[in-house]
Amino acid sequence: MPQAHFVRDYNRVVRQMVAVEPDYEVAMARAVGGGPYTEIGVRQRRILESLGLQGTDYVIDIGAGSGRLATALRDLPKLAYLGTDVVPELLEFARKKCARNDWTFKRISTLEIPDKDQVADFVVFFSVFTHLTKKESYCYLQEAKRVSKKNGTIVVSYLDPKNPVHLEMAGNLLRYRCFKIMGEGMLNIILRWQHRCLRIIRKRALNQLLSREVLDEWAKKLNLSVEYLDVVDQIGQSACAYRLAQSSSSGESAVSR
């Protein structure tokens, strides 16, 4: 069975970074997006704390990478933690850096979350949906709902097609014009085709845009509420928090702008 694109691409990207960067720690930081590794992890922790993170919670960190968030959380002695990723070198680095023998770092190769139903207080996707197709991201969101407690929170970061910086991160002016003329659906088709070409020529990973309209649609389908967070200046991406929607007479999920 062929490997999923996100498994193949990210293992290749990390191998390339390690090969060209003599400082292994720098390579590990670049593998999760570069920038100030420690500071961004602290900012991610603050986002979770603003959403109610407690020191005794259970956090599932999807796409844990080299442990940027995990390192920022390691001083919470009673926090339970599971970090998953598709790249074993990243997980091994995170495991050693955190030095938490009670925590689990697990390599995965599918869109399944390796835990039981209704166990997690937080399921976190920082810089994960940015590199998956919309179908894959929706499948992951379904899994996150499955493993979340009834009062749990699912945090997702994403690239917003209405943000010029995010458009530049995902592509160039031609893509922006395609978005303005033809909409997000056609833009993401172009992104996927360019990704396939670049994968051959430059071996690049997929960058995906997600609009609030799509995120709202997923909330309604899964009976989740969604709150949009003002964090783009903190982590360089937009973010939202999903929770199980409270029952209402209309039966629709709540959307907080």
In 10 A of CB 118, how many CB atoms? 12
Q: Whole-prediction pTM value?
A: 0.86
| CATH entry 3.90.79.10 includes domain 5-160+210-256 | no
Residue in the block written with tokens 């603003």:
50
What is the distance between the alpha carbons of residues 45 and 214, in angstroms, rounded to a whole number? 26
Give me the sheet containing 255-256, strands edge to edge.
Answer: 104-107, 80-85, 58-62, 120-125, 148-158, 238-244, 224-229, 255-256
**Is 196 within 8 Å of 171 (Cβ atoms)?**
no
Type of residue numbered 115: D
CA atoms within 13 A on the CB side of 55: 5
- Kindly give the confidence (pLDDT) of every residue in the chain, 257 residues in length, as a single tens digit, with 9 standing for 90 and above: 678 999 998 899 899 999 999 999 999 999 998 889 999 999 999 999 999 999 999 999 999 999 999 999 999 999 999 999 999 999 999 999 999 999 999 999 999 999 999 999 999 999 999 999 999 999 999 999 999 999 999 999 999 999 988 887 776 445 555 555 555 555 555 555 555 554 433 445 578 899 999 999 999 999 999 999 999 999 999 999 999 987 544 445 566 66
Specify the pairing of strand 224-229 against strand 104-107: unpaired
Tokens of 35: 């920038």
Which of 135, 122, 110 is closest to 76 using CA atoms? 122
